[in-house]
Amino acid sequence: MRGAQIYILRFFSILLLAVMSACASSPDIVEHGFSFDARWDSRDVEILNYRYGNSNQPGARPQDYSLREGKVPQQVSITGKIPREDTLYVKWRIKTTGEVYEDTVDLKRYLPRDITGHDIRFIIEGSQLYVYLISLRPVRGYIDKEEYAKMKQAAVTPRQKRLVVYARNSVVLVYPHQSEAQETKQGE
């Protein structure tokens, strides 16, 4: 009888450890979003594939049939209590040249620990992927037409012009990191 008790105790101890390690390795569920809109933000590219982490959340990756048929959505927006993922993979083609690029971003390295209330949004300009962390709620008050016009005029690149839409929100470039972007420009 004593041997059976030890066996049962060991079994439940192993089971408890397995459950605890599974919980520890699963991503945090956080109120945030993931989005892109190549139709508007990145008009000169076609998204061929993308993946926000390993999530099975609808919209976090294209459906298998979309990949098979070569009809990957060019716009996605998901928001809610979803897993905070550690990576972002994007593959795209420049429409005018046919050149194909892909990039995998280690979000764990670039994002702050707390992304609650923010949207992870990517924009592509040519061969460069840009990843932003944008607050879901405005952080500043109303912007009048004159101030908005000045902001639009100050925006030089298409990417900057697109980001004017978020003038009332906090917008932080998280990839490429500023130091990496400077190294790339110096190395060109």
Tens of pLDDT, residues 161-172: 889 999 999 999
Tell me: the pLDDT tens digits for 17-40? Answer: 444 444 445 569 999 999 999 999
Say whether 183 sits in a helix, a strand or coil.
Answer: helix
Q: What is the dihedral of CA 47, 52, 58, 61, to 10 degrees?
A: 40
d(CA 164, CA 154): 10
Angle at 53 between CA 51 and CA 57, to 5 degrees: 80
Number of domains in the chain: 1
Domain with 121, as residue range(s), is 2-187
d(CA 72, CA 64): 9
DSSP output for 111-122: S-S--TTEEEEE
Tell whether pTM > 0.75. Answer: yes
